[in-house]
């Protein structure tokens, strides 16, 4: 029987064989790298083409597989499509973010569940991980864990969106408290940032801004 990564099989595989298998997997081709990174851009202008619900579900099915601490999965997403929902969102945005959000077929509001640990018995059944984050005196580590891992998951979501052919326009210029009142009532979930999704207009892009070189951002110790 072939070894399937992520399966529930408990059989062990020889480490050297595993390395050989990993090294034999072809790298992503140039088209895939362009789609995810090299030619992908942050979009502010959108074509008049809707995004199908099935595609949004496919994006989530990809994004949820990205790693989080103890599989805590704290992200909660409100996906805004209707004009009624946009009318509730737009007043909370900075003026410069309103027109592009109105034009986008979809806007994802990424939030983090401050009580993500309540689902850990299901998500991380190997041990009682809930006690690491729940209870008096653990608010800080729970908050930090939710923010860090929720932000990671939002990035996974954007890469998944690019992988299935959508463009992204993330932004943070909005009133978090106003967004939380409208879309995350109760105080348990806190908004992180927002991302417009759809089919961007390539004719409205400006030249790509510079990026840091390896030596400017990284060091090898």
Q: DSSP string of 133-161?
A: TSSTT-HHHHHHHHHHHHHHHHHHHHHHH
| Residue 12, pLDDT score | 77
Instruction: Supply the pTM of this predicted model.
Output: 0.92
Q: 174 with 78: CB under 8 angstroms?
A: no
pLDDT tens for residues 72-107?
Answer: 999 999 999 999 999 999 999 999 999 999 999 999
**Is the model's pLDDT at 50 over the cut of 70?**
yes
Instruction: Please report the pLDDT score of residue 6 as a whole number.
Output: 53
pLDDT greater than 50 at residue 1: no
In percent, the amount of the chain with pLDDT more than 70 equals 95
Residue 3's pLDDT band, with cuts at 50, 70 and 90, is very low
- For residue 2, pLDDT beyond 50: no
Q: Is the pLDDT of residue 191 over 90?
A: yes
At 22 the pLDDT is 86
pLDDT of residue 36: 98
Distance CA 21, CA 11 (A): 16
Q: What is the pLDDT of residue 13?
A: 81
If you average pLDDT over residues 135-163, what whole number do you get? Answer: 98
Residues with Cβ within 8 Å of residue 50, at least 6 apart in sequence: 105
* pLDDT given at position 5: 52
Do residues 149 and 142 make contact, with C-beta atoms less than 8 angstroms apart? no
Most confident among 8-12, 18-22, 199-203 (mean pLDDT): 199-203
The mean of the pLDDT values for the chain is 95
Domains of the chain: 38-199 (3.40.109.10)
> Are 190 and 180 spatial neighbours (Cβ–Cβ below 8 Å)?
yes
CB 104 within 8 A of CB 169: yes
């Amino acid at each position: 029987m072939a070894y399937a990564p992520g399966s529930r099989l408990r059989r062990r595989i020889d480490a050297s064989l595993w390395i050989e298998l990993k090294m034999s997997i072809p790298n992503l081709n140039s088209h895939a790298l362009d789609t995810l990174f090299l030619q992908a851009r942050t979009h502010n202008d959108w074509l008049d083409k809707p995004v199908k619900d099935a595609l949004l579900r496919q994006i989530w099915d990809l994004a949820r597989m990205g790693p989080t601490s103890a599989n805590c999965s704290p992200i909660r997403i409100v996906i805004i499509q209707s004009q009624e929902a946009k009318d509730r969102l737009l007043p909370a945005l900075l003026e410069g973010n309103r027109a592009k959000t109105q034009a986008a077929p979809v806007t994802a509001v990424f939030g983090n569940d401050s009580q993500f640990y309540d689902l850990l018995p299901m998500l991380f059944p190997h041990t009682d991980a809930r006690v690491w984050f729940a209870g008096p005196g653990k608010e800080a580590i729970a908050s930090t864990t939710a923010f860090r891992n929720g932000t990671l998951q939002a990035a996974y979501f954007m890469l998944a969106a690019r992988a299935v052919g959508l463009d992204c326009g993330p932004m943070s210029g909005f009133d978090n408290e106003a967004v939380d009142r409208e879309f995350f009532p109760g105080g348990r979930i806190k908004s992180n940032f927002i991302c417009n999704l759809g089919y961007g207009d390539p004719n409205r892009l400006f030249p790509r801004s510079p990026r840091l070189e390896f030596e400017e951002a990284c060091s090898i110790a």
